[in-house]
Amino acid sequence: MDPVIYFDNNATTRLAPEALEAMQPYLTGLYGNPSSIHGFGSQVARKIQAAREQVAILLGAADPVEIVFTSCGTEGDNAAIRGILDSQPDKRHIVTTQVEHPAVLSLCQHLEKKGYRVTWLRVDGNGMLDLDELKDSLTDDTALVSIMYANNETGVIFPIEAIGEIVKARGIPFHVDAVQVAGKMPLNLKQTPVDLLTISAHKFHGPKGVGALYVRRGITFRPFLVGGHQERGRRGGTENVAGIVGMGKAAELALKDKPEEERRVRALRDRLEKSLLESCPDSRVNGDNEMRLSNTLNMSFKFLEGEAILVLLDQYGICASTGSACTAGSAEPSHVLRAMGVPPDWIQGAVRFSLSCYTTEEEVLSVNQKVPSIVQRLSGLSALGKLAKKQELKRGDHGDQVGARR
Ligand code: PLP
């Protein structure tokens, strides 16, 4: 039995036992270097090639040669953006969105400081983009468009095919951060107008410390990690062999029973959503209802602190999140919810529940039972807090109190 009730699968997922089994020989006996000439090394190189084929199938890529193994999603995003900018030094404009993961957001903020002009596309209240705004933002100076496929905090899915058509009609390279999509939704890059696409193994039951960047054949791309000739000179450094083998296995598993599995997870997520909306009066869902990953539920509880809810859930062994793993623990409200214009009374009270193929009905039931009582308890405390504040103000003790509240 699991020691935890795990609803934080957009942060990371459990390693599939089959992936662990596939990795084990490459952590023990089969330790040869895949770049070696001898047979002991070249059998490892063949296994990497097999994993490349498995990942290419998951992405619906035309050719396994389009897959470059990396160390994580953050590296893939950095390699794609920097690699494309480096290959067009005369172009100085980047288009991205206000709701990207920090792997893209922080890099683009950094590039802005270095003199690049960045267009930050806005989203509406449902978290959706305005494609006319995208169209209007493209210029002859645009070096790259980088847009995520699905948002890690809300699960909102962007219409990548339509976006790609707009971008490719202008002949501009298009990078997609698909870290939250690989293994959850079917991908068919043969027929999707995307030039580069980032994925990360630990988001679909593969190991941590390994990812992949899809680079369409014919795209000029300068390597981010310059070193040896690994990955055909596109990413230097001795390969994380066991990680790559595990990622290949996880990619293969992700395609197994996919439609049924997705339906099952969606039904569990919907049951959770319906029940929490009914049992917690001041609650709302953040993110589009239709265009949303089937495993993701981002809910806000009015006037409450999401972090307080998480601490109390943790006492029951329930793991959830306030949003991005990389911003959890920071006092700043989510940049994604802010961009969506979520009102101040609701924004701090956001909690993300993200499910996986391992989530069970019993676990959903357990969350459905615990959350309402936690919310009720915190709402009581929050009401008492407001009453105390009112009494202090009545006593004329306002100056410090108002300041402290900020
Ligand atoms: N992009 C998105 C959308 C993500 O959700 C994440 C991780 O949460 C990343 C990039 C970074 O991936 P990694 O943790 O593998 O560096």
Cβ burial of 88 (10 Å; 0-12, 13-18, 19+) is middle
pTM > 0.85: yes
Q: What is the DSSP letter of 15?
A: P
pLDDT at 175: 98
Contacts of 61 (CB under 8 A, 6+ apart): 55, 67, 189, 190, 214
Atom of ligand 1 nearest to the CA of 103: 10
Average pLDDT over residues 296-317: 96
Q: In DSSP terms, which residues pair with 157 in a beta bridge?
A: 150
Ligand 1 centroid to residue 13 C-alpha, Å: 12
The one catalytic residue in 108, 280, 319, 326 is 326
C-beta of 74 in contact with ligand 1 (< 6 A): yes
Per-residue pLDDT at 406 exceeds 90: no
**How confident is the model over 243-293, as pLDDT tens digits?**
999 999 999 999 997 889 999 999 999 999 999 999 999 999 999 999 999
Nearest to 185 by CA among 266, 105, 248, 274: 266
Per-residue pLDDT at 399 exceeds 60: no
Query: Beta strand 296-301 with 350-354: parallel, antiparallel or unpaired?
Result: antiparallel
**How confident is the model over 26-83, as pLDDT tens digits?**
999 999 999 999 999 999 999 999 999 999 999 999 999 999 999 999 999 999 999 9
Q: In the structure, what pLDDT confidence band is assigned to residue 330 with cuts at 50, 70 and 90?
A: low
Give the DSSP H/E element, type plus range, for residue 244.
helix 241-255
Average pLDDT over residues 369-386: 84
Ligand 1 centroid to residue 390 C-alpha, Å: 43
The answer to whether 326 is a known catalytic residue is: yes
pLDDT at 221: 87
Average pLDDT over residues 228-240: 95
Average pLDDT over residues 100-126: 98
Residue with tokens 């000739």: 229
Specify whether the CB–CB gap between 239 and 48 falls below 8 A.
Answer: yes
pLDDT at 340: 98
pLDDT at 73: 98
pLDDT at 3: 77
Q: Calculate what percentage of the chain has a pLDDT beyond 90.
A: 88
Ligand 1 centroid to residue 152 C-alpha, Å: 8
Per-residue pLDDT at 402 exceeds 90: no
Q: In the structure, what pLDDT confidence band is assigned to residue 382 with cuts at 50, 70 and 90?
A: confident
Query: Which residue has a Cα nearest atom 13 of ligand 1?
Result: 73
Q: In the structure, what pLDDT confidence band is assigned to residue 332 with cuts at 50, 70 and 90?
A: confident
In the β-sheet with 296-301, what is the strand arrangement from edge to edge? 283-285, 296-301, 350-354
Contacts of 27 (CB under 8 A, 6+ apart): 242
C-beta of 103 in contact with ligand 1 (< 6 A): yes
Cα distance between residue 270 and residue 282, in whole Å: 18
